[in-house]
Structure 1
Amino acid sequence: MHGAFRNVIDFYERLFEIDPLSELACQRLVTLHSNKGMHNAAIKIYKTFRKISRQELDSEFEDLTQSIQERLLQS
């Protein structure tokens, strides 16, 4: 399972690297890291996405991304 988990993380990290405005990649990475107890990594990814999306798009997030962020902060 550890290898499969690492492959999934690697996939979404690569996607996020290629397209830092990919809300899907942000959502998946934050959720995966959070589920593994890696809250600092999840928060860092979320903050990076938030900063880039505000600079580039001057926009807010989908409800799902906001809900993931709220759950992360509660844990």
Structure 2
Amino acid sequence: MSYEVRAKEGESVTFSAKYRSAAWARDSVSWSTLRFLERGPLVRLVERAGLKVVGQYGDWDGSLVGDGSPEIVLVTSP
């Protein structure tokens, strides 16, 4: 599998993912556009949806969230 960024506009990134297998007659390509938010706007969006943020992490290993965190992982409850 390989990725190629096709466009960046504001908070959005459009990219393609190419999947290849020797067992397939041809490659498969998937296109996606993702919106990347900073922590503050993300928390506000989740709260507007009616959820309560009960935990915040900077990666899937449970590390603290901060400016250099590779991820924003929110734990929510109704």
Query: TM-score interval w.r.t. the shorter chain?
Result: 0.3 to 0.5
Higher Cα radius of gyration:
2
In terms of fraction of residues, the more strand-rich structure is: 2
Q: Which has the higher contact order (CA 8 A, sep 6+)?
A: 1
TM-score, normalised relative to structure 2: 0.32
TM-score if structure 1 supplies the norm length? 0.32
